[in-house]
Amino acid sequence: MSDPHSVAPARIIMRDNHAPLIHPLEEKLGLMTRLWDDGFVRKAVILIALAAIWEAYGRILNNPLLFPTFSETMQAVVERIEDGTLPARAWASIKVLLMGYGVGVVMAGSLTILAINTRLGSDFLETMTGMFSPLPAIALLPLALIWFGLGNGSLVFILVHSVLWPVALNTHSGFRSVSQTLRMVGRNYGLKGFSYIFKILIPAAFPSILTGLKIGWAFAWRTLVAAELVFGVSSGKGGLGWFIFENRNLLEIPNVFAGLLTVIVIGLVVENLIFRTIERKTVLKWGLQS
């Protein structure tokens, strides 16, 4: 037992790990595979297929009065954009929408700030959202017409109603779910009152607030188009809903389709472009949502 290594309690046995690798460490995928992995590409393919089916069905039916083909609809879209009707109508709708949305969001913010500061305010908010969020805003239109008359006043009123409750509800639940640790950190910095709300609570609750804003937008947009179908009588001043209604009465069905398509496109742009960009620049970047 002269070998000192034989008494060592543990031994290290080296293995050869320098042999050439059998599998490459990283392998590039083919172009087609990578394209198909992109959700945007897959959805574009679906849209193209749908347009083709639409076109084919329209041609077989051959009844432009009831069901125009995709190309006829696109032609109507181009013509209405060229003569300025569609942009003007779309702008009329969006203008009213922004007004209602803005007022609704500001009211929701004030209500929620009141709610987090007092228990009674919190009860008030919960009762009000509980009562009014199941009520479709459009159901208030007849009443609004009596109160505010035919015009933007009535539209703004029901838009505020459709935005206020979902935004307030989500903001409030967002505020309440801000972690105790973050609250303590904020107070440790000596933040109080509005600076505490704006510098800690709002950014911390931003995922919920953004969800509220998205839901509010979706409600408002649908409500607005529906409401416009009912009136818009100050001729030429109406929005997209009125454009659809008007053209149906004139049996300009391609225009009706063009109007519907515009409603869809604006909805998609706001939901998938604007809100998606805000999400990417905030909650996704902060790792608050994946």
Partner 1 sequence: MKPLLEVDGVTLRYKIPGSVITATEQVSFTVNEGDRFVLLGPSGCGKSTLLKAVGGYLKPSEGRISIKDRTVTEPGPDRMMVFQEFDQLLPWKTVLDNVTFPLMNAHGLSASEARAKAEAAIDKVHLTRAMHSYPHTLSGGMKQRVAIARGMAMEPDILLMDEPFAALDALTRRTCQDELLRLWEETRFTVLFVTHSIAEAIKIGNRILLLSPHPGRVKAEIIDVDKVSATDGSAGRLEKQIHELLFTETDQAEAH
CA angle 223, 58, 53 (to 5 degrees): 80
Three-state DSSP class for residue 121: helix
Copy the structure tokens of residue 117: 């500061």
Minimum gap (Å) between residue 178 Cβ and partner 1: 10
| Using rule CB under 8 A, residue 195 touches partner 1 | yes
| Using rule CB under 8 A, residue 287 touches partner 1 | yes
Q: Is 54 in contact with 69 (CB distance < 8 Å)?
A: yes
| Using rule CB under 8 A, residue 179 touches partner 1 | yes
Cα–Cα separations (whole angstroms), residue 257 to 66, 77, 235: 10, 8, 20
Nearer to partner 1 by C-beta: 183 or 248?
183
| Using rule CB under 8 A, residue 200 touches partner 1 | yes
DSSP state of 282: I
| Using rule CB under 8 A, residue 286 touches partner 1 | yes
Buried b (16+ CB within 10 A) or exposed e, 50-73: eeeebbeebeeeeeeeeebbbebb
- Sign of the CA dihedral running 255, 262, 81, 46: negative
Minimum gap (Å) between residue 264 Cβ and partner 1: 33
- Sign of the CA dihedral running 284, 288, 289, 290: positive
Minimum gap (Å) between residue 273 Cβ and partner 1: 22
Of 49-57, 59-67, 178-186, 268-276, the segment contacting partner 1 by CB under 8 A is: 178-186
| Using rule CB under 8 A, residue 198 touches partner 1 | no
| Using rule CB under 8 A, residue 182 touches partner 1 | yes
Of 96-104, 111-119, 196-204, 250-258, the segment contacting partner 1 by CB under 8 A is: 196-204
Judged by CB under 8 A, which of 51, 94, 114, 288 binds partner 1? 288
Nearer to partner 1 by C-beta: 147 or 189?
189
| Using rule CB under 8 A, residue 203 touches partner 1 | yes
Nearer to partner 1 by C-beta: 180 or 235?
180
Q: Is 213 in contact with 167 (CB distance < 8 Å)?
A: yes
Of 250, 261, 166, 176, whose CA–CA distance to 213 is shortest? 166
Judged by CB under 8 A, which of 163, 204, 213, 227 binds partner 1? 204
| Using rule CB under 8 A, residue 206 touches partner 1 | yes
CA dist., res. 250 & res. 36, Å (int):
44
Residues lying near partner 1 in the complex (CB under 8 A): 179, 181-182, 184-185, 187-191, 195, 199-200, 203-204, 206, 282, 285-288
